[in-house]
Structures are given as structure tokens and as C-alpha cells.
Amino acid sequence: MLGLDDCLTEVMAIPGALDAMLVDQTSGMAVAISGPPHGVDAESSAAALTETLRATMDGLARSCPGETVRIDDMLVTTDKGHHLLRFLETVFEGPLVIYLRLDLERSNLALARYRLLNISRQLLA
Amino acid sequence: MAPLDTLLAGLAREHATGALRVGRAGTIFLSEGRVTYMECAQTPGVERLLAARGRLPEAALRRLQADGGCKRLLEEGPVTLGELQYCVLGAVLDAAFFLLPVGGTRPKFRPGEQHWLGGQWYFDVAGLMRECARRRAYLAQIWPSAQLDTAPVRPAPWLPGSRVTLDSVQWEVVTGAGAEATPLDLARRIGRSGYSVLLAVRRMAAAGLLAPPVEPTTTTRAPEESATKAGEHRAKTAGGGQGALPQRGRGAAAQRPPHDPRAPGLPLGPPVTADPTDLALLMRLKKALEELT
């Protein structure tokens, strides 16, 4: 069985992975961190990512009225790389979010999404 | 009397293993100086969360606790390792948020004692304190007044506009709120962390979705009827009498209260008022203390 820490190890094994983080969406807390810190404060970046996700969900709720918004994953591509976020719904709290930063040249987005889906299935049955 | 956080920091330095019982408020379990589990009487624990969210009835959990423990829970229970770790993580941080500001009770440390769900996640004591402080600041940023945290949640009977967006916890708060349940009552009932319900309630307050709070004299459930009557009487004379002290109108409550980053943590027990019954209690306490010395 996959624990939260092992899950990040698996995530970092995805080709082109630069760094990864597990974020608790409710509180905006970094649950686990992996990869080189390179001057990034994990706590504040987790909190900032949470706000981004909140804003996205609010925006989607407004743009598709009459629907319950349920995000599976989210992709942001910048000139430096891809940022992939996978939402894991749990019954008691959350969602728990896997955040993965990918190298623009060395990564394969389709593969990364597929691997993240698999990892999330192993993590939460 | 050392505050709880100093005591905990000391235990962390000594790499202590055991349980620190904080009166009836809760218990902190440590293993080699790191927190493995924390219980708080005010917040739902892992058992309550799993039961309230329909994962496993509490009776089944008690059976597992008595026989087989955590290992068996993972082997045959409907919870995966990842879920259990996440659940423990959430419950411990939630308990820490409400338990650590507690002072005054004399904590007792029992070496060697462990919780049956401990060992799923290890919390470094300094990190735990930092996270609690961050959460407190975040709460104040959304809606600065802590008054809502202990008062009954009363959603506004009508919307200030024509349409709103609610998140899942807010939805559960709206459907679960009666006129009496406080945020922490709701948290235990719906099986959400106390902090997530506080967040939901404060966000709803910021969006104007809550009914304006009732004046403190009438919100407290006074043990004697005469006390409430006196309160009503006071309110009437203050409102009607000329030259009386200016009283805050109901409309003022809808405005955002001033920001206070150093606002004290949640009070334990009933809210303090200028109620004569409280004064009587204080006098009795004073007398008892004088007799002690």
C-alpha cells in the first residue's frame, strides 16, 4: 500500500519531474515536499497554490452554472515548464492535491497525467 | 504555570515518549520527542471522522482497537494507508489548533503511553506550532472577529443577492445548522475538522450569508431566567432612554469588525459576559482562593 511519503517518491519518478508537493486544500498546508527547494518557501507556495485552486473553482462554478464543479486535474504551462495539479477527493477532508512541476523539454504530459491518475488510485481506494 | 507550548517544546528537546494529559481538554501523544497523535475534547478525532463520514461505525473501530489495532484496521478495514495517514494528519493538526492555546490546567505526563492510531505521521513540535499560528492568521485574514467561532451558526434567512457559490463544507454547514449548534458542535456532527468549519463559517460571514449575531446578553444560555430578563431589560432601557450610552445597532454587526491579529484564541467554556451569575462565580472563586492561602 502507498503512504503519503511513498506517493511523492512515485510522483518524482515520473519522467521530467522537477519537484512535487502534497497540499491540503482546506488549510493550504504543505503535507509533504519533494525535490530541490531552490529558494522556494514550501509553506507559502502551498498556501498560494491553494488560493489559485480556490479562485479556479469559484470561477468555474460561475462559468458553468447549474453544475457541481469537480476538478480532476489542472494544467498550467509557462515558458519554463508545466505545472500539473491532481485533486484527490477524500471523504473526511480535502481535497488533497498533488502538485508536480515538470521540465518543458524532457516531460511527456500525457504520460505524466496517466501516472498521476494511477498514483492517486493507489493512494486512496 | 508554564504554558502548554513551552512544556511541549521541553518534552521535544528531551526526546520524550509518552502521553501528556491536559486535564479534560485533551491528550498529546509523543514518541521520541515527536507528536504522533493528539486528542482534543472539542474536535472530532479520527474515530469520529471515520464514523461520521460513513467509513466505519464507531463500534467496529472500538473492536479493532481492542483486538488487532492499527495493523488490522489497514488489513481488513475499508481505509487505505494514504487515507488513514491523511485523516490522522488532519485530526492532529485540528486538535493542536484548539488544544495548544489552553492554559491553566495542570498537564500530567505519563511515560510510555501510546495511542493506537499513533505512528501514522510524525509531527515536529516546532512545525506544529508554526502551522497553528499560520492557520490562526489565515482565519483572521478572512474575517477578523473570533466571535463567530463560539456562537451558534445561523445562516441568513434570505440571500443578500440572487445567487451564491458554496463549497462542500459550507453546504454541510448550511444544511446542518440549527439555531443552536456552534461551529464545533457542527464539526463533530458532520464529521469535518473544526478548523474547516471555522473557515467555512468565517467565509460565509465575509460573504454576508450569516444572520447578524444576537446581542451577547441574549445569546448566552443563562441558567436562570431572571438573568435573561435582566439582560432584556437593560437592552431596552439602553436603547430607549435618552442620554444612555450609545448601543451598537444590529446593522453595525453586518459591517466588518476591525482587524485584530493578536486576538486571543478560542475561550474554553461558556463565553464571558457581564452577567451577574458570572460575577457571583468570580466572587466565589476569589473567596475559595483566599481560603486556600
Q: Same domain for B98 and B194?
A: no
Question: What is the per-residue DSSP string for B62-125?
Answer: HHHHHTTHHHHHHHHSS--HHHHHHHHHHHHHHHHHHHTT--SS--EEEET---TTTTSS-B-H
How far does the CA of residue B139 sit from the closest CA of chain A (Å)?
A: 10
Contact status, residue B9 vs residue B82, Cβ threshold 8 Å: no
* Cell numbers 467561532: residue: B149
Domain end marker among B110, B137, B164: B137
* A57-105 confidence digits (pLDDT tens): 888 888 887 778 888 899 999 998 999 999 988 877 778 999 999 999 9
The answer to whether residue B293 sits within a structural domain is no
Q: Identify the residue with better confidence: A119 or B68.
A: A119
Q: Cβ A47–B167 below 8 Å, yes or no?
A: no
Chain A contact for B50 (CB, 8 A cutoff): yes
Supply the pLDDT for residue B112. 83
How far does the CA of residue A80 sit from the closest CA of chain B (Å)?
A: 30
Q: Same domain for B151 and B133?
A: no
Supply the pLDDT for residue A22. 92
ipTM for the predicted complex: 0.88
* B207-263 confidence digits (pLDDT tens): 889 887 765 554 444 444 444 444 444 444 444 444 455 554 444 445 566 666 556
Q: Which of B82, B89, B134 sits opposite A123 (nearest CB)?
A: B82
Chain A contact for B80 (CB, 8 A cutoff): yes
The answer to whether residue B73 sits within a structural domain is yes
Supply the pLDDT for residue A43. 84
Which of B83, B138, B139 is the mutation pick for testing A, counting most A CBs within 10 A?
Answer: B83
Supply the pLDDT for residue B245. 54
Superfamily holding A4-123: Dynein light chain 2a, cytoplasmic (3.30.450.30)
Q: Same domain for B10 and B131?
A: yes
How far does the CA of residue A103 sit from the closest CA of chain B (Å)?
A: 27
Q: Same domain for B91 and B176?
A: no
For chain B, which residues score pLDDT lower than 50? 1, 218-243, 248-253
Residue-number span of the structural domain to which B151 is assigned: 143-227+251-267
Task: Give me the total of CB pairs closer than 8 Å, taking one residue from chain A and one from chain B.
Answer: 80
Q: Which of A43, A61, A96 sits opposite B86 (nearest CB)?
A: A96
Question: What is the per-residue DSSP string for A3-56?
Answer: -HHHHHHHHHTSTTEEEEEEEETTTTEEEEEES--TT--HHHHHHHHHHHHHHH
Helix crossing, B168-176 with B194-206: angle to 10°? 90
Which of B105, B94, B118, B84 is closest to B25 using CA atoms? B105
Chain B residues within 8 A of A24 when measuring between CB atoms: 89-90
